[in-house]
Structure 1
Amino acid sequence: MKLQTTLKTSFDRYPSELILSVLLALMYLPLIAHWYDGWLNKTISLEHEYFSHGIIGLPFAAYIIWTKRDRWRDLDDRFNPLGAVLLGLGGVLYVSRMPDFVNLSFPIVLAGLSLGLKGHPGFKLMAFPWLLVLLATPNDLPYLIAPFSEPLQSFIAGTAGFILTQWGLDVTVQDILLLVGGRVVEVAPHCAGFKMLFTTLYVALMLLYWTGSLKSKKTTVVFLLCAVAISVITNILRNTFLTLFYGTGRDELFHWLHEGWGGDAISAFMLLALIPTLAAIERLREALSGSDTIESV
């Protein structure tokens, strides 16, 4: 009885939102379940694995939307024509049966609903969770940028070769190839670190929002730059050890780091490093703002 009363009260307060939520669930829950199955069991395409940060990002976006439900209700109902256009576009993409188009219809429909129900203020209120959904939506962007990754591959190969040389190994670097112990290691496009970079920046955005630091443009820019540096350095070290293990015949360690849980462990430590990094940036910002206050006095 209590549950029925709660549901009736919720329906009375948010009738259109609840109806639309049910429709969205019927349309997109099977799709999102497919994403999760692919991300968790690695049965999704290699390019779509780049968006596995959605495992934590989509629930976080749903949580943010839930916390803003009262502010959403208090907004005046207003129609923005762009919302109708986006809803139409999302509907066309959804029925196209092309996987990437169906995927992209999800954030497009969400944007259309926000603009169609509450206008620009509604979209602005839900802009950050919408961004999290957009950045977690699988598409072929990694495939499109792969041809432009060769300079980064060469840089990683050269840096890894330099590090291994300092460790006393005989290493020859040829563009994106490293020759160690008679074995050849290639820094392939998928080893250039884009997946790691996408995940790092995504989690960095989540941390900025969670801590309230997103309101500071300086903190946001500095932290995102630090996140890029952490990602690049981590990927260089990962490729260095992969080359070391493969070149010295330690195949078990190579496979552990390349395809096993060793790579996941490195990614986890990399993401954990973002927390003290943001804390240090905040302390520095507070210290600098405090010194400015003293000088002005």
Structure 2
Amino acid sequence: MAAAAPSAGTPEQRAGQGAAAVALALAGTFVWLLIWYWPTAQGIAAIWWRSETFAHGLVVLPICAWLVWRRRDRLARPQPTAWAALPVALAGLAWLLARMVSVNALEHLAFVTMLVGALAGMLGWRLSRVLAFPLLFLFFGAPVGEFLMPVLMQHTATFTVGALRLSGVPVFQEGLHFIVPNGRWSVVEACSGIRYLIASLMVGTLYAYLNYHSLHRRLLFVALAAAVPIVANWVRAYLIVMLGYLTDNRVAAGVDHLVYGWLFFGVVILLMFAVGARWREEGEPAPALPAAAAPAGTAAVRWSPVLALAAVTAAWPLLLARFDAPVAAFEVALAMRAEVPGWTPDDRVDPGLRPHFLGARGEFRRSWRRGDEVVTLQVHYYAAQHPGRELVMWGNRLVGGERPAWVLLDERGDELPVAADGSPVTVRRAVVGSQDGQRRLAVWSWYWMDGRVVTSDIRAKALTALDRLSGRADDAAHVALIVPLGDDEASARVSAQDFARAAGPALEAMLRQAAEMAR
């Protein structure tokens, strides 16, 4: 990170000197952050390389460099300012918390925010305004947005089923899965449209910047670039199912429906650009040549903002080293010693479903019977959490694995008496079905975090981060009650409620004992 002293000369000379100084400031700041945040930057680049959803990130940096080069005749020498230290510090704190609990999306977004803030601080107010769009365009390099998948998938399934019914095709829907007379279809992650949405937003934003000069036209086209891929994905999904239905699955089944999807998306985007070109604004005002920079004062005054930005960016990796000490491998034995009143253990019963939670320090699984009622308790226990051994991490879910034998049919909130004092609280209730469609299970699940019942992944991560920052233990568990589901869903709910009420004290005692063992 370097600051250059102002110089005089003709406007053309100042423009050339300014472009060189800006390039040096941008490159130096970028390299400085890479030195301190190399693991994060490497992780972002790896996602660009292997993920089709975020492959557009590979061209973000070259596009930003080109956008800066286009404005080279407006560039003066940078005048670093320390005003950016505050947003950079806030982004650094977010990076620290995200890194501590392995929230990759927040970690990557915080890093890009730090980069943009540090670059703006090195350039100063005037140059930051001139290069505002290239700087903000860097945010498209942050591989975030997958949290939108569930919502997009649900809306895609709803539209597809509704359109099929309007077309006269009989459909039976169960969550994201639906059946037509000659086949079964599912809206999976690849069908969510998130790839189309992110790609369209990036290209549409760039198109609006280059072709429009008025703010309202730019915003209108960006809004269009967000809406069109969502609706286009709905239509694409409907057409693919209709093609399969009309051709008895000879067309649009298997991998080729993804190819048809991208072709359809490409045509739609080209049409969108063709429409947008009709309102293209020509004749951008001629740029004013940069004025000579005002004297900067003493060297200490010139360099103090640079040192402030350098220090605030370097502080967070150093703080992380204090909290990221290696943990020796250990296991925790879970045993429920107390009886469950009114229920008899029966380990011969196995519902078949095993929640896909990896990296646990300990695991407990047992079934109980009361007459014809059967409830299975599954617990995965976590302590001294670190990457690969965390309660909330990618892949840990109720139904998962490479070849899951079960599919998630429905998920919503429901009340169950599982609080430490036996009072009812909201937990997750899911319905899963076997791949052959012959069996269904109701599953009530929640996170246990030092006596607190948590259902939100975000809240669970936040509590874990606070525990680690305050030096407290981060013990937690995933608890699931699994009940076979017949025609009467109400009876399954009664079984789960009665068992939770009866087993609550024994379950709490087992988890408390595990926490003592982990320490």
- Report the structure number with the largest CA radius of gyration: 2
Query: Given the alignment of the two structures, is residue 60 of structure 1 paired with residue 60 of structure 2, yes or no?
Result: no
Aligned to 2:249: 250
Structure showing the higher strand proportion among its residues? 2
Opposite residue 154 of structure 1, the aligned amino acid is T
Cα contact 1:157–1:187 (8 A) shared by 2: no
The answer on whether the counterparts of 1:58 and 1:133 sit within 8 Å (CA) in structure 2 is: yes
Q: Which residue in the other structure is 1:36 paired with?
A: 48
| Counterpart contact for 2:153–2:191, Cα < 8 Å | no
Q: 1:160 to 1:135 in 2, by over 3 A?
A: farther
Q: CA deviation at 1:154?
A: 1.1
Instruction: For residue 239 of structure 1, report the CA deviation from its aligned partner.
Output: 0.7
Distance 1:257 1:133, change over 3 A: farther
CA distance in 2, matches of 1:160, 1:60: 42
After superposition, what is the alpha-carbon deviation per residue over 1:115-150, rounded to whole angstroms, capped at 9, x for unaligned?
4323444443333223322133113x4225625763
Q: What percent of counterpart residues are identical?
A: 21
**Which stretch of the first structure deviates more once superposed, 115-124 or 24-33?**
24-33
Query: Distance in 2 between the 1:179 and 1:113 partners?
Result: 53
Equivalent of 1:92 in 89, 96, 115: 96
From 216, 219, 224, the counterpart of 2:217: 219
CA 1:120/1:205 → structure 2, altered by over 3 Å: closer, same or farther?
A: same
The residue aligned with 1:241 is 239
Q: Is the Cα–Cα contact under 8 Å of residues 65 and 126 in structure 1 kept in the other structure?
A: yes
From 264, 274, 277, the counterpart of 1:276:
274
| Secondary structure at 2:171 match in 1 | strand
Look up the SS of the partner of 1:255 in the other structure.
coil
1:120 and 1:103, CA in 2 relative to 1: closer, same or farther beyond 3 A?
same
Residue equivalent to 1:132: 137
* 1:279/1:95 CA distance change after superposition, 3 Å: same
Letter in 2 for 1:100: A
What's the offset of the Cα at 1:155? 2.6
Q: Quick one: which of 66, 83, 86 aligns to 1:82? A: 86
Match of 1:185, SS state, is strand
Counterpart of 1:288? Answer: none
In 2 relative to 1, CA 281–158 (structure 1 residues): closer, same or farther, beyond 3 Å? Answer: farther
For residue 195 of structure 2, what is the amino acid of its counterpart?
K
State how far apart, in whole Å, the 1-side matches of 2:190 and 2:250 are: 20
Q: Tell me the CA shift for residue 100 of structure 1.
A: 2.9
User: Residue type of the partner of 1:30?
Assistant: Q
CA distance in 2, matches of 1:257, 1:275: 26
CA distance in 2, matches of 1:221, 1:112: 23
Mapped to 1, the partners of 2:220 and 2:25 lie a distance apart of 41
Q: In the alignment, is the contact (CA less than 8 A) between 2:197 and 2:230 conserved in 1? A: yes
Partners of 2:164 and 2:242 within 8 A in 1: no
Q: Cα 1:12–1:239, aligned 2, differ >3 Å: closer, same or farther?
A: closer
Superposed, 1:1-297 pairs within 5 Å as: 13=21, 15-24=24-33, 27=38, 30-39=42-51, 42=52, 49=53, 51-68=54-71, 71-80=74-83, 81-86=85-90, 88-89=92-93, 92=96, 96=100, 98=102, 99-139=104-144, 141-143=145-147, 146-147=150-151, 150-151=154-155, 153-162=157-166, 164-165=167-168, 170-172=169-171, 174=173, 177-188=177-188, 191-211=191-211, 213=212, 215-247=213-245, 248-251=247-250, 253-259=252-258, 261-282=259-280
**How far apart, in 2, do the equivalents of 1:161 and 1:127 lie?**
48
Aligned partners of 2:230, 2:182: CA distance in 1, in Å?
27
Distance 1:12 1:109, change over 3 A: same
User: 2:48 and 2:111 mapped to 1: Cα distance?
Assistant: 15
Matched letter for residue 238 of structure 1: R
Secondary structure of the residue aligned to 1:273 is: helix
User: Where does residue 6 of structure 1 map in the other structure?
Assistant: none
CA RMSD of aligned residues (A): 3.7
- 1:19 to 1:148, Cα distance in 2 relative to 1, 3 A: closer
Distance 1:58 1:72 in 2: 19
Q: Is the 8 A contact 2:49 2:55 kept in 1?
A: no
Asked if the contact 2:178/2:184 (under 8 Å) is kept, the reply is yes
Higher share of residues assigned helix: 1
AA paired with 1:239? A
Residue pair 1:82, 1:112 contacting (<8 A) in 2 also: no
**What residue ranges of structure 2 are gaps of 5+ in the alignment?**
1-16, 283-519
Mark the CA change 1:69 to 1:115 in structure 2 (over 3 Å): closer, same or farther: same
The one-letter code of the counterpart of 2:42 is P
Q: Which amino acid aligns with 1:107?
A: V
